[in-house]
Structure 1
Amino acid sequence: MSAKVSVICLCFNHEKYVEEAMNSVLAQTYPTELIVVDDASSDNSVRKINDYVKQHSNINIQTLFFEKNVGNCKAFNSALELTNADYIIDLAADDILLPDRVEEGVKNMELNPKLAINFTNANYIDEEGEYMKSHYSINKKGNATVHVPHGNLFHHILARYFICSPTMMYRASFFKEIGGYDENLAYEDFDLMLRLSRKYPFSYTDRILVEKRVLNASMSTKQYKRGSNQLESTLKICKKAAEMIQDKIEKRALLKRIAYEAKQAFVYKRFLIFIAFIKLGVKIILQK
C-alpha cells in the first residue's frame, strides 16, 4: 500500500498567492491530499479558497476556516486532526511546491523508517514570483556547493539556522508523538526541529524542490522588531533546549545561538529580552 501524504496549506491574508499554492499541490507527481486552512483572513482569501474548491469539485479538498485568528501553530495542529496521512508537509499559502517534491520525499523517507524529516534546497522568490537566490548556493548541475549536514542534527540546529523550513516533510507518527507544534509559541519550526532531532535523524535531498516567497510583510522579515513576539518565543525555546542538552558540544551550540539572539535583541533595542538571554547564557555556563 502506498504511503499517504497530506499537504496542509496555511493561509492568512494570502489572496494573491493561495491559488498558486493550491495548484502546486494538485500538480504533484505523487497522489497528495490537500487540506486548506484559513486563519481568519481579512482579505478575500476565503472566497478564493471556496471558489477554487468548487472549480475542483472532482477532487476531495478539505477546508478549515477559523473565525478568529488562532496563529500558525494551533491552526496547523487542528488541521492535522483531519488526516491519517503517513507524511505531512506544512505549506504556507504564499510558497510553492515544485511538481516532484512529494514523490522525492516519499522515496527518500521510505528507505529509513527512523527518519523524522526530509528537507531539500529551495529557491527564494519575490512578491511577483521572480527568482532571487537559492537557499544553498548551487553549481551548474543544480547541486549545493556547500556541505549540508544531515543525520543526527540536534547540535547543528541548536547552533544556527540552516534548514529552509518550507522544504520539510514530516513523518506524521513522529510529529504527533511529540505533540505537534507548541501552541504557546509565535512560530513553530525551530522548536519542532529541536524536539524531533533530539530523538530522530533527518535526511537531505540535494535538489531545489520548493519556492519560498519573500514578502515585506512576512513574520520572518519582522522577527526582531518591536511589536513582534518571536524573540520571546526564541527565548522560551532556548530555555527548553537548556533542559535537553547532553554534552559539551551541545552546550557550546546552545551558547552560540543565545549569543546570536542576544546580539539581535541589542541591535533592535529589545533590551529586556537582551538581558534575559544574557542571564540564560550565564546560567548555562555555570551548569556542570
Structure 2
Amino acid sequence: MGPYLNRIKPWVTVICTAYNHQRYVEEALQSVVEQDYPNVELIVIDNASTDATSGCISRFARQHPNLQFLQNTTNVGLNRAFNQGLSLARGRYIIDLSADDVLLPGRISKQVELFERLSGPYAVVFSNADYIDEQGRRLSSHYPTDPRGRSSTVVPSGNVFRNVLESYFICTPTMMIRRDVLNELGGYDESLAYEDFDFWVRSARLYHYAYLDEVLTLKRQLPDSLAAQVVKPDNALLHSSLIVCQKALERCHTADEYQALASRIRKFIRKAYYAEQYGLVRQFGRLLNRIEQPGLLTKVVLALSCLQVPVNSLYRHYARQAFALPSRQ
C-alpha cells in the first residue's frame, strides 16, 4: 500500500464480521474478492461462532491468502469486533460488511469514484440496496425505484444530521466510510448493542453524507436480525437507543433538529412499552420532557407503562406478520 499507489487508486478495507453465518459467509466474501476494483484489503472477524462459520472462513482464506482472519474465542459484541478490524485497517475507505450481506459487482469502484470527486467535509457515501430472504430471493428495495432502477423518492444528502435523528433512512451496509473519520470518532462505541444510530449521530453533526443512486448491495433479512430482536422484552437495543438519544440532544442546534429528535424519542417510548421495558419508557419520557411537553398519545403510553399493562405477545405477533412482508426496513 505505497503512498503513490494509494493516491492513484486508494485502498479500500472491507471489515467483515461473522457470527453463526455458515450458510452465507462464503457468498459474502466471494462478493468482495470478485469486485473489479484492484486495491481491496479484506479483514474477517469470526465472533466466536458456535456453528461451522470459522471453518468456512478458514477454507476461503486458504484460497485467498491475503485475507486477514481474526478468530475470537469469546463473543465480544458487534461493535468491538468491528473495532478489532478497524485497528488493522490500512485503507483510505472502510466498508462494514455483515457476513450475511452481499456486495454487488462494481460497488467499490463506483463508491470510490464518487468519493474522489467530492469536495468538502464528506465522510460517507451510501447507496440503495435490495432486501433478500434466507434463500437469496429479492424482496424489495430500501428506496423504491423507478423502471430505470433509480430512487423514486428524494434521498437526503449533504448535511443529514436532522434526517438521521428523524428516521432510519440509510441502509447501513451500503455505507463506505472514510477511515480517518472513524479513527477520529474512536470507532464504534463498544458500550452499545448496535452501531449505526450512534455513528450517524456523531459523524453527521461534523461531516456530510453523499447518496449514490444505485442498488449496490443485497441486505439479508433474517428472523433473528437486530431489527427483529427489538421487540423482545430482554433486548439491549432500546437501552443503547436511549444513550444515543442523550448524545443527540447534546448535539442539536436548531428547532427542527430538536423536533426531529423529539419525534424519534416518541417512537422509542412506544417501542419500549411494546417490549415491556417500563423503566426505559419512563427514562425516554424524561428525556422527551427536556424538549417538549408530551402529547396526548404519548401521555397515554406513559400512563399504561406505569400500570404495566402487558402487550408484548400481541405486538410480537404483529411484528412477525410485518416482518414476513416485503418492506423497506
- Shorter-chain-normalised TM-score: which range? over 0.9
Greater relative contact order (Cα < 8 A, sep 6+): 1
Q: In the aligned structure 1, how far is the partner of 2:236 from the partner of 2:276?
A: 14
Where in structure 2 are the equivalents of 1:58-207 lying within 5 Å?
60-113=66-119, 114-207=121-214
Q: Measure how far apart 1:110 and its partner are.
A: 0.8
Rg larger for: 2
One-letter identity of the residue aligned with 1:33: E
SS in 2 for 1:120: strand
Between Structure 1 and Structure 2, the one with more helix by share is 2
Tell me whether 1:277 sits opposite 2:284 in the alignment: yes
Q: Measure how far apart 1:89 and its partner are.
A: 0.2
Contact conserved, 1:38 with 1:46, CA < 8 A, in 2? yes
SS in 2 for 1:6: strand
Q: Measure how far apart 1:225 and its partner are.
A: 1.5
SS in 1 for 2:228: helix
Contact conserved, 2:35 with 2:106, CA < 8 A, in 1? yes
Contact conserved, 1:24 with 1:96, CA < 8 A, in 2? yes
TM-score, with length taken from structure 1: 0.96
Contact conserved, 2:162 with 2:257, CA < 8 A, in 1? yes
Two-structure CA RMSD over aligned residues (Å): 1.0
Which residue of 227, 237, 248 corresponds with 2:244?
237
SS in 2 for 1:202: strand
Runs of at least 5 residues in structure 2 that lack an aligned partner in the other structure = 1-7, 294-329
SS in 2 for 1:183: coil
Q: Measure how far apart 1:283 and its partner are.
A: 1.9
TM-score, with length taken from structure 2: 0.85
**4+ aligned runs moved over 6 Å, structure 1:** none
Higher mean C-alpha deviation, range 86-95 or range 109-118: 109-118
Q: In the aligned structure 2, how far is the partner of 1:184 from the partner of 1:7?
A: 23
Q: Measure how far apart 1:190 and its partner are.
A: 0.5
Could you report, residue by residue, the CA deviation over 1:123-148 in whole angstroms, capped at 9, with x for unpaired residues? 00000000110001001100011110
Contact conserved, 2:230 with 2:275, CA < 8 A, in 1? no
How many residues in Structure 1 have an aligned counterpart in Structure 2?
284
Could you report, residue by residue, the CA deviation over 1:150-192 in whole angstroms, capped at 9, with x for unpaired residues? 1000011011111000100001111111111000000000100
